[in-house]
Amino acid sequence: MKKNILVGVTSGIAIYKSLDLVSMLVKAGYEVNVVMTENATKLINPLIFETISQNKVYSDVYERDMDSQVKHIKLAKNADCFVIAPLTANTMAKIVHGIADNLITNIVLAHTKKMILVPSMNVNMYENPVTQKNIEALKERHIVLSPDYGRLACGDYGKGKFPTTERIFEEIESYFVKKDLLGKKVLIGNGATVEDIDPVRYISNYSSGKMGNELALCAKRRGADVKVVCGKVNSDYRKFGIEYIDVKTNEDMYNSLKENFDEADILIMPAAPVDFKVKNKKDFKIKKTENFKNIEIENNIDILKSISEHKKSQFVVGFAAETNSVKDYAILKMKNEKIKIQKGELEIKFPQPQAILYTTYILKLPDQKIVFVGSLKEKKKSKLSLNIAIKELSAYKKRKYLKKINLFKQ
């Protein structure tokens, strides 16, 4: 059954961006109804919202239609999620003080669930002590998105910009996810590290950072406080409010992870740290006419092994990449592994994908047995990893040696 999203639109100058939000929600399969203040209808014709949402737009408490039900009560009850974007300082103040003088504010009083509020206004209006007090009051009951910083419509620079529609959409998606990680702190190592050869060349690993990003987003949706220590990646999810700490080398990543490890409940390491580094790194570019055989390579710090030595009660999930004979190498590494796998730890091993969206996983469980997991689409990876880290360990004794798991039932 489709979720019903009620979008309240007030008369902020960023109102045109709400059109993109409504369009995105419709394309994602949500049933969308739009409610506008009277002043908002003066900025954008309701017909545009009606065309995009494919539903009638409401703006007048006293407008009569064929439905005999009380309009604001019906809209409030039918909404699975009520989003007000943009939210002006005026409507914000009315909500805080319980004033119901238009359709949106009437719906607010009748709506019994947590709302998603998206303030957008001039920087001086936003930073006004009265507005800040109102925001703090709303945060006690609702989800209030912080506006972006940048150039505003009036020409000022500061905090007050309408957030990206992707960020608001993500907040709505997260709204319907069970918050079973609420209060937990999840630390994630992500991306490839880089070790310089000289100022223009370096050693690194292939890593897009997709796995770590999706894990971070999945954990955030489930209520966790997420922090990502991030090396070289193609993209990140900072726009969704996830904290990223940028690092370069193995040592940088290790130091940052160690600094945050004590307060973490879960550490997940899909990072791709470099196994080697240049012992005689140059401060100048090595000319191609010179002898590159003089470059000396030495082992780099094993980040996960070193971090695990400081483990207390944290739940640790590690990753290792293989390119062939995955199962055999997993068993071999299990036998030769110097680090004793303690209760509460899992190691997830996966090779380079045979196709772009597929990867094979092998789990090392504390009883020294291997569970072969099989292939999995990219979009399912994050759900798999977190679910295994949190749930699968407690059930490992019940599993048979090399028992196959149907991932799509996770």
Q: How far is CA 166 from the centre of its chain?
A: 11
Q: Are residues 209 and 154 in the same domain?
A: no
pLDDT of 206 above 90: no
Lowest mean pLDDT among 62-71, 196-205, 254-263, 334-343: 334-343
In whole angstroms, give the CA distance from residue 382 to residue 75: 35
> Could you count the other beta carbons within 10 Å of the beta carbon of residue 63?
9
Q: Are residues 74 and 169 in the same domain?
A: yes
What confidence tier does 306 reach under pLDDT thresholds 50, 70, 90? Answer: confident
- Please enumerate in sequence order all residues whose Cβ is within 8 A of that of 366, keeping only pairs 6 or more positions apart, or say none: 341, 342, 343, 344, 345, 346, 393, 396
pLDDT of 339 above 50: no
Residue 281 in contact with residue 296, Cβ under 8 Å?
no
Q: Are residues 140 and 280 in the same domain?
A: no
343: domain range?
185-409
Residue whose C-alpha is closest to residue 189's, from 237, 238, 229 = 229
Q: Which amino acid is at 174?
A: S
In this prediction, residue 292 carries a pLDDT of 67
Q: Are residues 123 and 235 in the same domain?
A: no
In this prediction, residue 238 carries a pLDDT of 86
Residue whose C-alpha is closest to residue 327's, from 359, 350, 354, 356 = 350
pLDDT of 81 above 90: yes
Helix (H, G, I), strand (E, B) or coil at 156: coil
Cβ burial 364-376 (10 Å sphere, 16+ → b, else e): bbbeebbbbbeeb
For residue 108 the two structure tokens come to 């607010």
Identify whether 370 is part of a domain.
yes
For residue 326 the two structure tokens come to 């995955």
In whole angstroms, give the CA distance from residue 297 to residue 277: 6
Q: Are residues 159 and 222 in the same domain?
A: no
Lowest mean pLDDT among 156-170, 314-328, 351-365: 351-365
**What is the percent of the chain where pLDDT is above 70?**
77
pLDDT of 167 above 70: yes
Residue 117 in contact with residue 155, Cβ under 8 Å?
no
For residue 195 the two structure tokens come to 């070790």
pLDDT of 357 above 80: no
Final residue in a domain of this structure, among 124, 143, 175: 175
Q: Are residues 332 and 384 in the same domain?
A: yes
Number of folded domains in the chain? 2
In this prediction, residue 95 carries a pLDDT of 96
In this prediction, residue 85 carries a pLDDT of 94
In this prediction, residue 240 carries a pLDDT of 85
* CA dist 157 → 122, 239, 368 (Å): 9, 19, 58
Q: Are residues 202 and 105 in the same domain?
A: no
Q: Are residues 355 and 231 in the same domain?
A: yes
DSSP, residue by residue, 160-209: EEPPPHHHHHHHHHHHTS--TTTT-EEEEEESB-EEEEETTEEEE----S
**What is the percent of the chain where pLDDT is above 90?**
52
In this prediction, residue 166 carries a pLDDT of 92
Q: Are residues 161 and 208 in the same domain?
A: no
The CATH number assigned to the domain holding 306 equals 3.40.50.10300
The CATH number assigned to the domain holding 50 equals 3.40.50.1950
Identify whether 180 is part of a domain.
no
In this prediction, residue 315 carries a pLDDT of 87
pLDDT of 241 above 60: yes
Q: Are residues 164 and 288 in the same domain?
A: no
What confidence tier does 308 reach under pLDDT thresholds 50, 70, 90? Answer: confident
Q: Report the catalytic residues.
A: 154
The more confidently predicted of residues 382 and 83 is: 83
pLDDT of 398 above 70: no
- Residues present in the chain in total: 410
Give CA torsion, residues 201, 207, 210, 216, to 10 deg.
-80
Final residue in a domain of this structure, among 175, 195, 224: 175
Q: Are residues 102 and 251 in the same domain?
A: no
Final residue in a domain of this structure, among 150, 175, 200: 175
Q: What is the chain's Cα-based Rg?
A: 26
* CA dist 298 → 20, 170, 277, 278, 295 (Å): 52, 43, 6, 6, 10
pLDDT of 162 above 70: yes
Lowest mean pLDDT among 178-182, 309-313, 333-337: 333-337
Residue whose C-alpha is closest to residue 172's, from 240, 112, 235, 92 = 240
The model's pTM? 0.70
In this structure, what DSSP letter does residue 285 have?
A: P
Identify whether 144 is part of a domain.
yes
pLDDT of 322 above 60: yes
Q: Are residues 247 and 270 in the same domain?
A: yes
For residue 375 the two structure tokens come to 């292939």
